[in-house]
């Protein structure tokens, strides 16, 4: 059976299982529960595998919340920067826990959410993010409460908090030092709670990460405050599991060799454009090329690559680590063909979960 037509995202179940095995090890040693962050990865065609090794999902909107309840199951946490009045009753119907971003939202909706566990987002005013755009603790951040007097006003209506302050943090010592600071500054609040979510952004499935040290640190935190700890891994769940498969359409030389492929960073890997990063491309060999997208955006460039032999029109290139913040952000810029979503099963066969065509492009508009 031939592979699908490029471009397509290819999720490898064996690679996914390697991450899930680390997830289980962390859960069993630490006692923490793990919730898939749907803002990063919401490809529900592989939820059957992930749900066996994780405890549920966490969301950033009503649509994500519903998807988590219907397609993943387990424990379902509802968070939004701001719930609308017409959303709140439906959200409560799907959720096991609802986390309000501000004291104002808690004041507005606490009574209507009284049938489930309620929490508040706590902003510690520091983070590991290297990008101001993504820094939840940036000056004047709207993400969560930090003032102890305002937190005190919420204590009679909440039994947990969510603290999201890590961003692709592969440094365990930094994680430990910042958790020490949270314990010191907010301990009087934490010891009165039943659960604490430490959010996502901890790169614990990465190669060489001291997973047992993380598990032991989480266990000590849980024991000290008598709380159930949650983590919200997004990237950590699917790091290294997915490629974007593309085909070379044209090769030109404008001072360097440029290979144009049948994909686009703005449409299919938007975070590369937002954060001005390069894709993970092959880097072995003497033949250098800039890999560029086919949209009209001048800066539609995946990055520089090296190959063992010269590229030719029709050659296929695999762009690594293309699972996180890609399929959830893909768009129809220029009407460029939307990548199919495919899975490499554990027997090696490739199965197409979904294709997109002209009707999908047309129906996304009006």
Per residue in 271-311, pLDDT tens? 999 999 999 999 999 999 999 999 999 999 999 999 999 99
Work out the pLDDT band at 3, boundaries 50, 70, 90: confident
The pLDDT of residue 2 is 73
pTM for this structure?
0.97
Distance (Å, whole) CA 43 – CA 48: 11
Q: What is the reported pLDDT for 1?
A: 57
What are the respective helix, strand and coil percentages of the chain, to the nearest 5?
35, 25, 45
- Longest Cα–Cα distance of the chain, Å, equals 67
Proportion of the chain above pLDDT 90, given as a percent: 99
| Spatial separation of the C-alpha atoms in residues 354 and 327, rounded to whole Å | 12
Give the CA distances from residue 258 to residues 236, 287, 339, in Å, rounded to whole numbers and listed in that order: 33, 11, 22
Q: What is the pLDDT of residues 53-80, one digit of tens each?
A: 999 999 999 999 999 999 999 999 999 9
Q: Distance (Å, rounded) from C-alpha 40 to C-alpha 68?
A: 13
27 φ, ψ (degrees, to nearest 5): -60, -45
Read off the pLDDT of each residue in 323-327 and give the average, rounded to a whole number: 98
* CA count, 13 A, side-chain hemisphere, 292: 21
């Amino acid at each position: 059976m031939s592979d699908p037509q490029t471009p397509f995202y290819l999720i490898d179940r064996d690679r996914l299982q390697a991450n899930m095995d680390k997830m289980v090890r962390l859960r069993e040693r630490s006692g923490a529960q793990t919730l898939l962050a749907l803002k990063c990865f919401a490809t529900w065609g592989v939820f059957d595998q992930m749900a066996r090794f994780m405890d549920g999902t966490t969301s950033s909107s009503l649509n994500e919340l519903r998807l988590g309840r219907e397609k993943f199951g387990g424990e379902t946490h509802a968070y939004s920067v701001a719930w609308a009045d017409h959303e709140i009753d439906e959200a409560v119907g799907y959720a096991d826990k609802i986390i309000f971003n501000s004291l104002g939202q808690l004041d507005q909706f606490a009574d209507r959410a009284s049938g489930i566990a309620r929490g508040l987002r706590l902003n510690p005013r520091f983070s590991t993010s290297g990008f101001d755009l993504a820094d939840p603790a940036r000056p004047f951040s709207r993400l969560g409460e930090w003032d102890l007097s305002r937190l005190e006003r919420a204590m009679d209506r909440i039994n947990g908090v969510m603290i999201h302050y890590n961003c692709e943090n592969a440094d365990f010592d930094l994680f430990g030092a910042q958790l020490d600071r949270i314990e010191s500054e907010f301990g009087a609040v934490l010891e009165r709670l039943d659960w604490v979510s430490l959010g996502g952004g901890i790169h614990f499935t990465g190669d060489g990460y001291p997973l047992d040290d993380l598990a032991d640190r989480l266990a000590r935190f849980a024991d000290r405050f008598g709380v159930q700890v949650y983590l919200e891994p997004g990237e950590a769940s699917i790091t290294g599991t997915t490629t974007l498969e593309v085909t070379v359409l044209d090769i030109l030389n404008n001072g360097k060799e440029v290979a144009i492929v049948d994909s686009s960073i703005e449409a299919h890997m938007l975070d590369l454009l937002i954060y001005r990063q390069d894709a993970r491309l092959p880097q072995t060999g003497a033949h250098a090329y800039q890999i560029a997208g086919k949209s009209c955006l001048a800066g539609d460039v995946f990055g520089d690559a090296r190959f063992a032999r010269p590229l030719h029109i029709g050659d296929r290139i695999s762009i690594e680590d293309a699972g996180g913040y890609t399929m959830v952000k893909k768009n129809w810029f220029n009407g460029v063909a939307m990548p199919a979503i495919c899975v490499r099963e554990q027997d090696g066969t490739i199965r197409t979960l979904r294709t997109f065509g002209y009707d999908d492009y047309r129906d996304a508009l009006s």
